[in-house]
């Protein structure tokens, strides 16, 4: 589906993403967690909490999908995952 929409997205778009995240069974495999990393936006918009839902879903994987410090400019959500995984 691509990256999460920003907070200016219409209600139907937000609902579509919310439903898609809710349909994912946890715990994730490491490959699934890595695939979902591309869903984060590069800004700090949490899209009405959907970014936090994504963080918590990724954290159900057996280990962190991030194996090294995210590069500068990778966005706050990658930094949050890195810090929480440490």
pLDDT at site 72: 87
- How much is the pLDDT for 15? 96
Tally of domains in the chain: 1
Residue 59 located in a structural domain: yes
What is the C-alpha separation between 49 and 65, in angstroms, rounded?
A: 21
pLDDT at 60: 98
**Distant-in-sequence, close-in-space partners of 55: CB < 8 Å, separation ≥ 6:** 77, 80, 81, 84
- Which pLDDT value is given to residue 73? 85
Residue 2 lies in a domain: no
Interval 33-80: pLDDT, tens: 999 999 999 999 999 999 999 999 999 999 999 999 998 888 999 999
What is the distance between the terminal CA atoms of the chain, rounded to a whole angstrom? 29
- Whether 79 is in a domain gets the answer yes
């Amino acid at each position: 589906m691509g990256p999460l929409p920003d907070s200016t997205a219409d209600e139907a778009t937000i609902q579509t993403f919310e439903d898609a995240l809710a349909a994912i069974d946890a715990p994730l495999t490491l490959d699934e967690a890595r695939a979902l990393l591309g869903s984060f936006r590069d800004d700090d918009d949490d899209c009405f909490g959907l970014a936090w839902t994504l963080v918590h879903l990724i954290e159900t994987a057996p280990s962190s999908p991030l194996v090294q410090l995210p590069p500068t400019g990778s966005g706050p959500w990658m930094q949050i995952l890195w810090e929480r995984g440490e």
